[in-house]
Structure 1
């Protein structure tokens, strides 16, 4: 594992915070280790225009979420769907096997949200609450500004 790259992402995570113009909100939680994350995503013209996250979790969850946001920023949804846990681990110069559940939770949540986004007619809102792998994932597709429609009702 590349300790320096990992620690940089864990201690100085990229793209942290709330994204006011998000049109997709994804929450994911790992019942085994109590990690929780929320991604706020702005998708336009089938591209991830912006992404931010908030998190409650270990340093590996922070680092993997930071690395994932960097990987998907500006990418097409097809590219996002092609990413896997190994791509995230590669950005961090590797992760130990016992920590691979962290990138698995993050990428599983993002994939579930992209699938819901694509299945939702433009201009409509939708939500899904599902178990993906062993993680609870709640995705919300918004049709109004985040501040008007985001609900913490599903907070994990």
Structure 2
């Protein structure tokens, strides 16, 4: 599998990694079971993306997509950001291997969800807090061992945070 120099640069030196506390909008996509999880955090000022951060747990392509997406969206108006597509992200990365194109969908989807979350909050719509739908006991326990649903690292019973990826683990282990 051959990656472009741009993909490798964004994988090795990702831009805008992190969390925005009290974000104006948050979009989360992916599936911890298959390994790619992406969360986008927005700070909106005057209907413009003043800051954007991401947390991604997944392959190098998913990390590169997240990084490039934040670079494409930062400083844009909400209307401009709504027009960013998975094709735009893949092109900005100078292409992705065919079996990794789904990662660009995750990025564009997470951005659109974060914008929608912001617009819903602004309109006074209260959205329920995101909670994983899968049963932790059924999907993240193998024998007597328990694993982080985000990075698959082994965690001890009762741990509330994964020491490997620093994810908040709200369910019993």
TM-score (norm 1): 0.73
Evaluate the alpha carbon distance shift between residue 110 and residue 152 of structure 1 in structure 2; reply closer, same or farther with a 3 A threshold.
Answer: farther
Higher alpha-carbon deviation: 35-44 or 60-69: 35-44
Q: Which structure dedicates a bigger proportion of its chain to helix?
A: 1
Could you list the per-position Cα deviations for residues 86-135 of structure 1 after superposition, in whole angstroms to 9, with x for gaps in the alignment? 11011111112221110101111211221232233357753476xxxxxx
Structure 2 residue matching 1:54: 3-state secondary structure: strand
Match in the other structure for 2:94:
93
Give the distance between the partners of 2:25 and 2:114, measured in 1 at CA.
Answer: 7
Q: CA RMSD in A?
A: 2.7
Greater relative contact order (Cα 8 A, min sep 6): structure 1 or 2?
Answer: 1
C-alpha displacement at 1:17, in angstroms?
1.3
Gaps of 5+ in 1: 130-150
Match in the other structure for 1:46:
47
Gaps of 5+ in 2: 131-167
TM-score (norm 2): 0.67
Evaluate the alpha carbon distance shift between residue 92 and residue 23 of structure 1 in structure 2; reply closer, same or farther with a 3 A threshold.
Answer: same
Match in the other structure for 1:102:
103
**Contact 2:39-2:110 at 8 Å conserved across structures:** no
Give the distance between the partners of 1:69 and 1:116, measured in 2 at CA.
Answer: 17
